Structure 1
Amino acid sequence: MVQRQLPRPAELRELVRFKRPDLDARRRRLASALTIEDLRTLAKRRTPRAAFDYTDGAAEGELSLGRARQAFQDVELHPSILRDVSTVDTLRSVFGGPSALPFGIAPTGFTRLMQTEGEIAGAGAAGAAGIPFTLSTLGTTSIEDVKAANPHGRNWFQLYVMRDREVSYDLVRRAAAAGFDTLFFTVDTPVAGARLRDKRNGFSIPPQLTLRTVLDAAPRPWWWFDLLTTPTLEFASLTSTGGTVGELLDAAMDPSISFDDLAIIRDLWPNKIVVKGVQNVEDSRRLADLGVDGIVLSNHGGRQLDRAPVPFHLLPHVVREVGSDLEVAIDTGIMNGADVVASVALGARFTLIGRAYLYGLMAGGRAGVDRTIEILSDQVVRTMKLLQVASLDELTPAHVTQLARLVPVRSDLAAVPV
C-alpha cells in the first residue's frame, strides 16, 4: 500500500510558481509563438485576407511552393557523437562581408501593405541581429530611408530591369551612393506569374475600399487604422500605382531582358553583384564563367513559374559544378532553422527568408521580425548542437540525406502501353 500524508505548506509553496501577468498584448502574443508556423497563424488573424494571401500565396496551383517546403521536410539529418558543442559559431562570410547567422532577409514587394512598419522594421531588426537586409525594387520604403534605419548594417538591393531602363539605372546609382554593398540582379520575372489568390481577392495597389474589403477588415480595424493614419505608400521605383499586382509587374518588367543588360548593370555597380533566380546547372556555369560574385537558386518563392525546379533539390548539383568558382545562396520554402542548416550542409553559402520574415512582421511589426530571427536563430543553434558540429564550416553533405519523393521519369524511354 502507498503511504499517504497531507501536503505540507512549505512543499506547496515550492510547487506554486505564478507568473506576473504581462499587460503588453503584443509581447504576450509573440512570446506564445514557438515556430514560424505559429507566427503565420498570428499573421493570418491580424491581417485582411487580400494582404495575407498576397504574402502567403504563390502562382497558379502553388505547386512550386508546396514542393519547396516538402523538400525540406523530406530530409534526414545524420549527427556525429562525442563532440564538444558547448558553444557553436554561426558567423558566416558572404558576398564580401560578415553575417552573424547563415540567413538574411530576402527582398519582398509592397511590404508596408502587410504591416505599416514595413521595411523599416525589417532593416532595423536585421541590423540589430547582425544579418543582411535586402530591399526590393518594389519595396515601399526608399533606398535612403532603409539606409537610415540600418546605418551600420549590411544593406542589399534587389533590381528588376524595367522597360524604362533609365529607371533601373537610377536605382543602381542611388543604392551605390547609399552604401548598399550587394546588388541582386533578378532574372526570373520577364512577366508576372499568375497569382490567382490576388486575382480572386481583387488585390490592388493601393487597396480599394469595396464592400468585400470592408467586411473582411471589420474584425481587424487596427490594420486599416494603421494604413490610413501613416504616410502614403511610396515605392522604391514606381512613380505611379493603381491596378492589380500582376498589372503593376507587367507594366514594370521587360521580357526582352538579356545578358547584355547584366553587362550594363555590372559596369554601373561598383560592388558585389549576385544573380537571383537561377534554376539550372547550365545557367549557373555560364554565370560563373562571366565572373559574377554569386547566384541565388530561387524560383521566386513559387510566385512566378509554377512547377519550377525545387531550389533545395538543385543545390548540390549546382554546388558541385560551380561551388569553387562563386558563392551559391538559396531561398524558397525555408520555415525552420533546420532548413537553413541542411542548406549549408549541402553547400549553400547563405540562405534568404522571405515569407518567414513577413509572417513575423504581420504578427507584430518590428517586434515580430525580431521574434522571427530569434526563432530561426535558436533552431539553427540547437540543430547544430544536436548534429554535434561547432561551426558552419564543419557541416558537410554527409550530415544530410534528401529523401526521394519526386523521382524524375527518364524522358528517353518510350511509354509502356497498359
Structure 2
Amino acid sequence: MSNLVSIRDFEEHAYKTLPRNALDYYRSGAGQQTTLKHNRQAFSKYRLRPRCLRNVENRDLSTTILGERITMPIGISPTAMQKMAHPEGECANARAAQAMGTIFTLSTLSTSSIEEVAQAAPRAVKWFQLYIYKDRELTRQLVERAERAGFKALVLTVDAPLFGLRLADIKNRFILPPHLCLANFEGTKSKGMSKKTDSSGLNVYVNSLFDSTVEWKDIAWLKSITSLPIVLKGILTAEDAVLGVQNGASAILVSNHGARQVDGTPASIEALPEIARAVGDRAEVYLDGGITDGTEVLKALAMGAKMVFMGRPALWGLVQGGEDGVKKVLTIIRTEFETALGICGCCRLSDIEPTMVVHESFYAKL
C-alpha cells in the first residue's frame, strides 16, 4: 500500500483487482455518463485564492455536525453492497471511520446489517441512509432498528423515485453474487434480486419495491416515527432545498447520486452555491460527488458546504486493504486538505472565506 499515495492510485488498483460485474456496478453512472465525468471535471473550473502571512502553525480540522464533534469535515457516503469490495464490507468501512473520528453512512442496500455495523464500530458516528419502501411497515422497522443501534441521523435519499439506467449493469445483467444478500432484509422476500431478468437485477428489485409515490408530505410521516434528525440526500436545486427545510429536514446533502440517476444534471459542486445561499442559514449543507483530492474539500467548504462525503474512494480503499485501506484513503485526503488549508492562510474551518474560491471566469474578466 506504500506506493499508493493518492485516491486515484487506489482507484486504478481497484480497476485491476475487482471482478468486472462488481467494478462496473461501483464505477458506472447513468446514461452516457457525461455527468459522471463532469462531477470530477467541474472542480477544475474553480480556482483557489490563497491568503498569505497569516500564521498557520496550529491547525484544527474538527467541526460539529448535527451536534456531534468529529475530527474533520470529510465523511463516508452510503454505497451499497460493500462485501463485493471486501469480505468485511461495511463493517470494515465503519471501523475505519471510527478510527479516523468521522461519520460513516450505512446504505439500506448493505451486505452487512444495521446491527452488525453497530457492533463492529460502536463508537463511530453512524448515519443510516433510507429508502422508503412500498411496505411502510418494513420502512418503519428499518428506522426503529437504526435508532436502537445508536445511529445518529437518517439520510433520506430523495432522488430515486425510479432507479437510473446504468447501462453497464443492464448489459451485465447485474445481480449480487450468490454468497451475498441484502443483510438488512435477511429472512424476508426483500433480501435478494431476481436472476430471471434481461436487465439489471438491482433495477428490477428497486422498481418493484421502492415507493415511487413519495411526496414532500411523507417527510412528516417519517418525522412522526423517529426522533432522529433527517438529512435529505439528492437535492440539486434551491427550490427543493427550501421545501426540504420547510418540511422539517435538519440538513441538505447536495448530491446527484454519484451521477447514477439521470445523465445531464449539474455536477454537485455546481449546484452547491445556490443551495447554500437558499438554506445555509437554516440548515446544515453538505456535498457529495466527485471529491478525489483535499483541495476539492477546501473548495466545497468555501462555496457553502459544512462537510463533504465520499463514496467510491472508500470502496477503492476497501478493495486494497479493508479497514486499513479506507483509513489510508481518509488519511491521504485529510493530509491534502490540511495542507491546502494552511497554504491558503487558514488554521481552522471558520477561517475559510467565500472569496478564497472563484470560478475561472473571474480571471478572464481581469
TM-score of the superposition, structure 2-length normalised?
0.93
Instruction: Report what 1:335 is aligned to.
Output: 292
SS of 1:139's equivalent?
coil
Identity rate, percent: 35
Q: 1:256 aligns with which of 213, 216, 223?
A: 213
Asked if residue 155 in structure 1 is aligned to residue 123 in structure 2, the reply is no
The structural deviation recorded for 1:403 is 2.6
Q: Which residues of structure 1 form unaligned runs of 5+?
A: 1-29, 208-227, 406-418
Larger displacement relative to structure 2 (146-155 or 240-249): 240-249
SS of 1:184's equivalent?
strand
Q: 2:352 aligns with which of 387, 392, 395?
A: 395
1:325-404 equivalences in 2 (<5 Å) = 325-403=282-360
The structural deviation recorded for 1:312 is 0.7
The structural deviation recorded for 1:379 is 0.6
Q: Deviations over 1:57-112 (max 9, x none)?
A: 11111111111111112221011111111121100111121111101110011111
Q: Deviations over 1:197-226 (max 9, x none)?
A: 11222321236xxxxxxxxxxxxxxxxxxx
Asked if residue 73 in structure 1 is aligned to residue 44 in structure 2, the reply is yes
1:121-270 equivalences in 2 (<5 Å) = 121-206=92-177, 232-237=180-185, 238-243=190-195, 244-270=201-227
- Mapped to 1, the partners of 2:263 and 2:137 lie a distance apart of 31
User: Does the aligned pair in 2 maintain the 1:185–1:262 contact within 8 Å?
Assistant: no
SS of 2:184's equivalent?
coil
The structural deviation recorded for 1:351 is 0.8
Instruction: Report what 2:198 is aligned to.
Output: none
Asked if residue 112 in structure 1 is aligned to residue 120 in structure 2, the reply is no
1:268-307 equivalences in 2 (<5 Å) = 268-307=225-264
- Mapped to 1, the partners of 2:4 and 2:176 lie a distance apart of 30
The structural deviation recorded for 1:402 is 2.4
- Mapped to 2, the partners of 1:404 and 1:329 lie a distance apart of 25
Q: Which residues of structure 2 form unaligned runs of 5+?
A: 196-200
Instruction: Report what 1:413 is aligned to.
Output: none
Q: What code does the residue aligned with 2:95 have? A: G
SS of 2:183's equivalent?
coil
- Mapped to 2, the partners of 1:81 and 1:240 lie a distance apart of 56
Instruction: Report what 1:59 is aligned to.
Output: 30
- Mapped to 1, the partners of 2:67 and 2:208 lie a distance apart of 34
TM-score of the superposition, structure 1-length normalised?
0.82
Instruction: Report what 1:31 is aligned to.
Output: 2
User: Does the aligned pair in 2 maintain the 1:47–1:362 contact within 8 Å?
Assistant: yes
- Mapped to 2, the partners of 1:302 and 1:159 lie a distance apart of 18
User: Does the aligned pair in 2 maintain the 1:112–1:233 contact within 8 Å?
Assistant: no
- Mapped to 1, the partners of 2:218 and 2:174 lie a distance apart of 31
User: Does the aligned pair in 1 maintain the 2:109–2:182 contact within 8 Å?
Assistant: no
Q: What code does the residue aligned with 2:181 have? A: L
- Mapped to 2, the partners of 1:31 and 1:165 lie a distance apart of 48
- Mapped to 1, the partners of 2:318 and 2:277 lie a distance apart of 36
Q: Deviations over 1:147-205 (max 9, x none)?
A: 11110120100000011111111100100111111100111011110011112223212
Q: What code does the residue aligned with 1:108 have? A: T
Q: What code does the residue aligned with 2:192 have? A: S
SS of 2:69's equivalent?
strand
- Mapped to 2, the partners of 1:127 and 1:118 lie a distance apart of 15
SS of 1:236's equivalent?
helix
User: Does the aligned pair in 2 maintain the 1:85–1:389 contact within 8 Å?
Assistant: yes
- Mapped to 1, the partners of 2:217 and 2:309 lie a distance apart of 27
Q: What code does the residue aligned with 1:56 have? A: R
Q: CA RMSD in A?
A: 1.5
The structural deviation recorded for 1:404 is 5.3
Aligned length: 353
SS of 2:11's equivalent?
helix
The structural deviation recorded for 1:329 is 0.6
